[in-house]
Structure 1
Amino acid sequence: MMNCSVIRIPAGAPHDMSGLGAAVEAGLFRPEEVVAVLGKTEGNGCVNDFTRGYAVMALKGFFAEAAKGGAADISYVMSGGTEGVLSPHFTVISRSGQKEPGVVTDGLKSLAIGVARTRSFRPEELGRLPQVDAVADAVARAVMDAGITSPEDVHFVQIKCPLLTAEQIYEAHSREGSLVTEDTYKSMGYSRGASALGAGVALGEVDRAALQEEEICTDWTQFSAVASTSAGSELSCCEVIVFGNSLSADGPYHIDHAVMQDAVDGAALQGLLDRYPGEELVQVLAKAEADPDGVIRGRRHIMLDDSDINHTRHARAVVGGVLAYVGGDPMIYVSGGGEHQGPKGGGPVAAVFRRR
């Protein structure tokens, strides 16, 4: 049976692999069993955040050496931006066929992880229906890879997606290609939104037959309650990691999710903690968004009007602070930009637990 585990490792810098090395020495994970690494790096989280690619380069080098050539095909999802109290770290996700001794989970669904990738995208496909369709296919394959048999058992879908750079825009122009936007920062939102809708299509949350291309990043009534998407310049395809529970998985870990209705909805995470009293909270995974209406609980916010600091950075700081308070730990994964990821102004929050 599949046995999945999740551990968090603090990082002193995007290239700091010392914590991972110590964890391997301590036997906390086996490098050859790692299938994905999620990271929070301390860049700006915008188009020119090279801490993401820097971290991926360092991680690839670490696992190539640590696994002595036996490393799995690892998916790396780096989310830039640790504003406020958010603490830079790596979340290492392992998967093996070995049961964990001493833990009885008969009849209980345990954490199951599935991974997949899309093909590489042309610049003119980003933020449009071809991206939606390719991501929907990849999410469906990742669900199958996890051994999850019902969409209700999928609790978080993390997707790393590409964005448009000035070079790609120029290349598309040379072919007379039409782009969804020529603003590199706005391209992040379009790519995140199309990816989230792809997850929604795969899980039956969004009706693909009725979805129109012009509704991407305009019709906020269409969303996935479990999708979390993050854009970066360090890849040209989408990396997909599905988190869920399955009877075909074994071990003490499991995952559940709720939906934050706005950026200060700490009750969503508190409800998950109350649902599993006595269990260890291993990691929190969440999306953060500045409400596009410019209002939170009837009060005006200025996140969208700040010309000095991007609204995604404001939102990460707010949501990170709220969830760090509720969960008691700032070393959590909070990603900014919530287009079609949960309701307008809100977003999904998932919690990984370990049964004692």
Structure 2
Amino acid sequence: MPECLAFRVPTRHPADVSGVMELIAGGAVAADEIVAIFGKTEGNGCVNDFTRQLAVMALETALAGAMGCTPASVGARVALVMSGGTEGGLSPHLLVLARRDGPDAPGGTALAVGTAFTADFPPEAIGRMAQVRATAAAVADAMARAGIDDAADVHFVQVKCPLLTSARIHEAADRGQPVATHDTYASMGLSRGASALGIALALGEVAEADLSDAAIGARRDLYSGRASASAGIELMRNEVIVLGNAPGWSGPLAIAHRVMRDGIDFFAIQGALADLGFPGSGQLAPEASGRIVALLAKAEPSHDGLIRGRRHIMNDDSDINATRHARALVGGVAAAAIGRTDLFVSGGAEHQGPDGGGPVAIIARVRD
């Protein structure tokens, strides 16, 4: 019977893999059991955020040594999802997810994980229906690998997706292929949006008849309440991680999710905590906070410039990108609920929850 293991380790800089290697050296997890690693790195989260690529390279190199293979082989089988930006009080860290086969346990459900990868996308497919459909197929594949038959048992789907650079745009043009946008920053949003709609399609949250190239990034009424997509320069494929509660899995961990209706929806976070059996009001006490393995959330400023009728300036600040403001805001709200700052808060929530809001999921130890 499989068990999903999850470990949260701090990092001192984007290339710091010492925490992961200490887990392996101490026997907490074997290198070949690791299926995915989430990371928050202290870059700007924009097109030129190379802290993500640096972290991936460091992890691939270190794990290759532990596995006795090449870094490329590590990248082919382990989903490495690095999200840049630790604004406000967010703490850089890594979340290591592993799958271990263990003895059979009594009936019930436990945290389950499945991963899948699309093929590399040509630049002209990024932010278009080709990416939506490929992502939906990969989500279905990851669900099957996790042993999840019912989409209702899926609580969070993380995707790492590519973006367009000037070089990629010119490469497509040389082949006579137009791309979705010539704005490299805008390409991040289109890629995240196409990925999120692919998740929504796979989970039955949207109908394929409502989807089109024109709907991506424009139809804010179409979204997934369980999607999280992070775009980066370090890849050309989509890497998909499905997290849910499934029968046939053992272990003490479980996951729950809610949808934040805006960046200060403290009660959505408390609702997810209540679903996992935690107290329903106030900040978690240190002992309870210690049972939280991860909080995963999306952050996005509302397009109307309002939060509950009051004006915000996130979209108008020419010095600091709006997604950076949003990560700091949601990170602060989440930290107030959990009582800790090593939280995975990702910016850019196109089609990931309602406008100005986004999904939040919590992984916790619910039994000994």
> What TM-score do the two structures reach when normalised by structure 2?
0.93
Most deviating of 62-71 and 9-18: 62-71
The residue that corresponds to 2:48 in the other structure is: 48
- C-alpha contact 2:160 2:231 (8 A) present in aligned 1: yes
After TM superposition, give the deviation of residue 179 of structure 1 in Å.
Answer: 1.6
Show the counterpart of 1:89.
93
1:143 is aligned to 2:143: yes
Shift of residue 31 of structure 1?
Answer: 1.3
Q: Is residue 191–residue 231 contact of structure 2 (8 Å, CA) maintained in 1?
A: yes
The Cα of 1:67 is off from its aligned counterpart by 2.7
Q: CA RMSD in A?
A: 1.5
User: What is the distance in 2 between the residues matched to 1:83 and 1:207?
Assistant: 36
What residue in structure 2 maps to residue 233 of structure 1?
233
Q: Give the secondary structure class of the aligned counterpart of 1:19.
A: helix
| CA distance in 1: counterparts of 2:204 and 2:265, whole angstroms | 26
1:42-91 residue CA offsets vs partner (Å, 9 max, x unmatched): 01000000000100000011111123349872110000000011100110
Confirm or deny that 1:224 pairs with 2:220.
Answer: no
Shift of 1:210: 2.7
- For the pair 1:317 / 2:328, whether they are aligned, the reply is yes
Q: Is the 8 A contact 1:11 1:89 kept in 2?
A: yes
Q: What corresponds to 2:129 in structure 1?
A: 129
Structure 1 distance, partners of 2:7, 2:164, is 33
1:116-173 superposed Cα distances (whole Å, 9 cap, x missing partner):
0111111111111111001010011001110001000000000000000010111122
Tell me whether 1:161 sits opposite 2:161 in the alignment.
yes
**Residues 256, 273 of structure 2: 8 Å contact kept:** no
SS at match of 1:273: helix
C-alpha distance in structure 1 between counterparts of 2:197 and 2:65, whole Å? 37
**1:303–1:315 CA contact under 8 A, matched in 2:** yes
Deviation at 1:286, TM superposition (A): 0.6
- What is the match of residue 282 of structure 1? 293
Task: Determine the C-alpha separation between the residues in 1 that align with 2:148 and 2:33.
Answer: 19
Q: Following TM superposition, by how much is the alpha carbon of 1:22 offset from its aligned partner in structure 2, in angstroms?
A: 2.2
**Rounded Cα–Cα distance in structure 1 between residues aligned with 2:364 and 2:326:** 25
Contact between 2:158 and 2:227, CA under 8 Å: does it hold in 1?
yes
- Residue pairs, 1:327-346, within 5 angstroms: 327-346=338-357
CA contact (8 A) 2:305 2:315 kept: yes
Counterpart-to-counterpart distance in 2, 1:303 and 1:99: 51
CA contact (8 A) 2:256 2:276 kept: no
Gaps of 5+ in 1: none
Check the 8 A contact 1:217/1:340 in 2, yes or no: yes
SS of the counterpart of 2:168? helix
Number of paired residues?
352
Give the C-alpha shift of residue 329 in structure 1.
0.8
Question: What is the CA–CA distance in structure 2 between the aligned matches of 1:333 and 1:5, rounded to whole Å?
Answer: 17
Superposed counterparts of 1:161-310, under 5 Å: 161-277=161-277, 280-310=291-321
C-alpha distance after superposition, 1:195-245 (max 9, x if no partner): 000000001001012322211111111001000000001000000000011
Cα distance between partner residues in 1 of 2:124 and 2:69? 37
Percent identity, aligned pairs only?
A: 53
In structure 2, the gaps of 5 or more residues are 279-287
Matched letter for residue 40 of structure 2: K
1:287, distance to aligned residue in structure 2 (A):
0.4
Q: Distance in 2 between matches of 1:214 and 1:134?
A: 17
- The Cα of 1:276 is off from its aligned counterpart by 2.9
Superposition deviation, residue 21 in structure 1: 2.2
Shift of 1:308: 1.1
CA contact (8 A) 1:99 1:251 kept: no
